[in-house]
């Protein structure tokens, strides 16, 4: 049963923009330390930091047909998220598909497989988080699905969920929880400011967080 779900709901663009500013580590903490993709997902270049609505793809190994199908479903501000039915490091995506995705308003790709033309993608400023960089070509023979729930790099992702990605990796935020997570993330950031200042001044986390008593109670000995 291979389907393309055409009209998915997305989170509020203002919320998405806010999450982008918070970054992966803060968002991940703010939502209770869940939603992180496996650490093998690495950006093809440093410095990109995005948040975007997921257009999900479930694709066969080394078959990128569904990427062509998915690009039609991309709306401005979306990110493509590709999971495979069986592990693959083939190069599903290159500069032509990036040109097409960008023309539709796509802002990036998260792929539990390989990507190629990374030099051109870098020049285009089209960020990709992937398991591998690999030039291996793919076929267009077997169907998959678009905008169905997927497990990508160990995380469960629904279409329309918010993907936050930067140099630390990739995190998913449930669409329904995005506003609440943003609030908590911003709260966290504001509190970090004060702590950063105190730590920069040489104060110790042991004192700021009041850890000395608990450490002693657990039995830590200084010798």
Q: How far is the CB of 187 from its own copies (least distance, A)?
A: 16
187 scored as a contact of its own copies (CB under 8 A): no
Query: Which of 50, 39, 52, 48 lies closest to 10, judged by CA?
Result: 52
Task: Indicate the residue among 136 and 179 with the shorter CB distance to its own copies.
Answer: 136
Residues 184 and 31: beta-carbon distance below 8 Å: yes
Q: Which is nearer to its own copies, 17 or 206 (by Cβ)?
A: 206
10: contact with its own copies by CB under 8 A: no
14 vs 204, beta carbon nearer its own copies? 204
**Binding to its own copies in span 40-69, by CB under 8 A:** 42, 45-47, 49, 60-62, 65, 68-69
Residue 93 CA from chain centroid, whole number: 17
| Cβ pair 100, 109 in contact under 8 A | no
Q: By CB under 8 A, which span of 12-20, 87-95, 172-180, 181-189 interacts with its own copies?
A: 87-95
- Least separation in angstroms between residue 53's CB and its own copies is 19
- By CB under 8 A, is residue 76 in contact with its own copies? no
Here's the x/- map for its own copies, 143-182, by CB under 8 A: it reads as x-----x-x--xxx---------xxxx-x-----------
Q: Is 186 in the site for its own copies (CB under 8 A)?
A: no
User: Judged by CB under 8 A, does residue 2 bind its own copies?
Assistant: yes
Give the pairing of strands 42-43 and 128-133.
antiparallel
- H helices within 153-202, ranges in order? 178-200
Please say which residue, 49 or 179, places its beta carbon nearer to its own copies. 49
Distance CA 144, CA 64 (A): 9
Comparing CA positions, the residue from 2, 3, 56 lying closest to residue 172 is: 56
Burial of 145 (0-12, 13-18, 19+ CB in 10 A): buried
With respect to its own copies, which residue has the nearer C-beta, 22 or 178? Answer: 22
Q: What is the signed CA dihedral for 204, 210, 211, 216, rounded to 10 degrees?
A: 120
Q: If you count them, how many residues does the chain have?
A: 223
Q: Which of 76, 135, 183, 187 binds its own copies (CB under 8 A)?
A: 135
Closest CA to 169 of 55, 17, 24: 24
Q: Interface with its own copies includes 89 (CB under 8 A)?
A: yes
Q: Nearest to residue 4, comparing CAs of 52, 63, 51, 59?
A: 59
| Least separation in angstroms between CB 17 and its own copies | 18
- Quote the least distance from Cβ 180 to its own copies, whole Å: 12
């Amino acid at each position: 049963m291979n389907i393309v779900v055409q009209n998915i709901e997305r989170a509020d663009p203002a919320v998405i923009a806010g999450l982008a500013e918070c970054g992966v580590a803060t968002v991940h903490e703010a939502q209770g330390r869940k939603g992180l993709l496996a650490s093998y997902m690495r950006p093809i270049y440093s410095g990109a930091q995005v948040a975007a609505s997921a257009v999900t793809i479930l694709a066969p190994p080394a078959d990128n047909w569904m990427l062509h199908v998915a690009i039609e479903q991309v709306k401005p501000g979306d990110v493509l998220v590709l999971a495979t039915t069986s592990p693959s490091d083939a190069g599903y995506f290159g500069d032509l598909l990036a040109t097409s995705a960008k023309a539709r308003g796509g802002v990036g790709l998260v792929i539990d497989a390989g990507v190629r033309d990374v030099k051109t993608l870098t020049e285009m400023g089209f960020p990709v988080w992937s398991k591998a960089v690999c030039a291996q070509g793919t076929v267009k023979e077997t169907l998959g699905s678009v905008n169905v729930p997927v497990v990508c790099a160990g995380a469960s992702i629904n279409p329309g969920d918010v993907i936050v990605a930067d140099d630390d990796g990739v995190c998913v935020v449930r669409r329904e929880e995005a506003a609440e997570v943003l609030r908590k993330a911003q709260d966290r950031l504001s509190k970090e400011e004060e702590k950063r200042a105190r730590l920069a001044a040489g104060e110790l986390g042991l004192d700021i967080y009041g850890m000395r008593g608990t450490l002693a109670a657990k039995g830590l000995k200084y010798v």
